[in-house]
Structure formats: structure tokens, C-alpha cells
């Protein structure tokens, strides 16, 4: 059970009650938080209010709802308290949130993928491509490798790997367990800084755009490009 207490639009200090419908919900593309799904009413103005359990312990922070009307229909989401603690500690100590970066594009291992690659397991994260000059690339991780563990802890899927890496500080030395063509391997590397890497990439792209001449259009227009339905996820990984 959980009680959701927030500052609603016209009634402050309201409390609603419900149950935890599910855990580890992935509700936004590129999200590295696994949300708690609750059916306690969460309305406009409730975001930022705490979600309590029956003992009064805060287990999450109200964050979002699914609704066709804007009102509660019993599908609400809270950020887990352990995620909030990590973010608050970063903001307090560093003034910003810093995340580790492994530098691989990863994807889920579906039954079809496992069969096509003749894999004997469906757990872990399949490496689609290591990013150039990333910690993963420097450690020798290759396309087709399956990341099965991080710091000795099993990796269930690509979402879990992304979350595990994002929770670690840049510079952390980690042991990455991989399976390559049925053979188990262990790679040691230091995580990079995700935000610093993204900033360097933006500067590189900005400089390239300034240096590149603008080609003539010749009156031609190319059709829009469409993103594939299930692109690989780039882990903070």
C-alpha cells in the first residue's frame, strides 16, 4: 500500500491511498530511472509530493501520470526514493548530477535475437557498437559481445545495465563480465564522465558546422529519414 501526499491545485495537504501496481517501469525513452507504478490518485499539482508506505516511510516521489483527460485514472508513477537520494547527494556535493559512462550502444536480447545468434542465454545486454575512444572500446569490448555482469553483479537486461552504470561516479574502476562466442571474459576499465563527453561532442559538431561550406541545394529536397522502431540504447553504458 502507499499514500501519495502532494500539493494539489485547490486543496493543500490532501492524501490519497492505493497500491503499488508494478515496479521497474520504463516510461520515457532514454530514461535511467525505473519508476514505481501506483494506482493512488495523482492529480495536477501533486508532482513532487512523496509516496509513503503503510509504515510512513517515503518510497518515492510523485512524478507523472497516464491520462487521456489530464485527471487521474489510476495510473501514476513515482521516482524511487533510492534514485532521489543519489540525485540529491550529487546536487548537494557537486552542484549537478554526474553519471558514469561506459560508451556502448546496447540492445535487448529477444528470443529471436538469441536464436539468430545461436546464443544459449537471453539475459544480459547485447553490444551493438562500442563508441569510438570510449572506456568500452579501449577495454576491447566488441560488437556482438554480451555484457553479463558489472562489478560482479549479474546484468539482467540492457535497462538494468544502463541504470547500474548511471549510478556510478565517473572514474570508477569496474570489472565488466562479457560473453564472446560462448567464452566468458572479464574486462577492467574506468568509467568516463557522461556529461563531459556529451559537451565535447556538442563542441565538435558545432565546430564542424562552422567549418563546413554550405552546399548548393539545386532545388532538390530529400525525403525525411525515419528512426528504426527499436533503436539500440546507448548506456551511460
Q: Which of 105-119, 135-149, 154-168, 219-233 has the lowest mean pLDDT?
A: 219-233
Higher pLDDT, 8 or 122: 122
Domain residue extents for the chain: 2-94, 100-193
* pLDDT at 210 (0 to 100): 55
Rounded Cα distance, 138 and 231, in Å: 24
* pLDDT at 219 (0 to 100): 42
Residue 225 has pLDDT above 70, yes or no: no
Q: Which of 10-14, 56-60, 77-81 has the lowest mean pLDDT?
A: 10-14
Residue 83 has pLDDT above 60, yes or no: yes
Residue 149 has pLDDT above 90, yes or no: yes
Could you read off the pLDDT of 130-142 as tens digits, one per residue?
998 899 999 999 9
Could you read off the pLDDT of 180-207 as tens digits, one per residue?
988 899 999 999 987 666 555 555 545 5
Residue 7 has pLDDT above 60, yes or no: no
Could you read off the pLDDT of 98-112 as tens digits, one per residue?
888 999 999 888 888
Torsion of CA 187, 234, 59, 20, to 10 degrees: -110
- Determine the CATH number of domain 2-94: 2.40.10.10
Average pLDDT, the chain: 77
The yes/no answer on whether domain 100-193 falls in CATH 2.30.42.10 is: yes
* pLDDT at 117 (0 to 100): 74
Question: Is there a common fold for 2-94 and 100-193?
Answer: no
Amino acid at each position: 500500500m502507499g499514500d501519495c501526499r502532494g500539493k494539489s491545485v485547490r486543496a493543500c495537504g490532501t492524501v490519497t491511498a492505493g497500491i503499488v501496481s508494478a515496479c521497474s517501469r520504463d516510461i520515457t525513452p532514454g530514461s535511467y530511472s525505473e519508476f514505481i507504478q501506483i494506482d493512488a490518485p495523482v492529480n495536477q499539482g501533486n508532482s513532487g509530493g512523496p509516496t509513503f508506505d503503510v509504515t510512513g516511510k517515503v518510497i518515492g516521489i510523485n512524478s507523472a501520470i497516464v491520462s487521456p483527460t489530464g485527471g487521474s485514472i489510476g495510473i501514476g508513477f513515482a521516482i524511487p526514493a533510492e534514485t532521489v537520494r543519489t540525485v540529491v547527494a550529487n546536487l548537494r556535493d557537486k552542484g549537478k548530477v554526474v553519471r558514469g559512462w561506459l560508451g556502448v550502444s546496447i540492445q535487448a536480447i529477444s528470443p529471436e535475437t538469441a536464436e539468430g545468434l545461436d546464443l544459449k542465454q537471453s539475459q544480459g545486454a547485447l553490444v551493438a557498437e562500442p563508441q569510438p575512444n570510449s572506456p568500452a572500446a579501449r577495454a576491447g569490448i566488441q560488437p556482438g559481445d554480451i555484457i553479463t555482469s558489472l562489478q560482479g553483479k549479474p546484468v539482467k537486461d540492457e535497462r538494468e545495465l544502463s541504470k547500474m552504470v548511471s549510478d556510478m561516479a565517473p572514474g570508477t574502476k569496474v570489472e565488466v563480465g562479457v560473453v564472446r562466442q560462448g567464452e566468458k571474459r572479464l574486462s577492467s576499465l574506468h568509467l568516463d564522465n557522461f556529461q563531459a563527453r556529451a559537451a565535447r561532442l556538442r563542441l565538435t559538431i558545432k565546430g564542424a558546422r562552422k567549418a563546413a561550406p554550405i552546399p548548393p541545394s539545386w532545388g532538390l529536397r530529400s525525403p525525411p529519414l525515419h528512426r528504426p522502431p527499436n533503436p539500440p540504447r546507448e548506456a551511460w553504458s
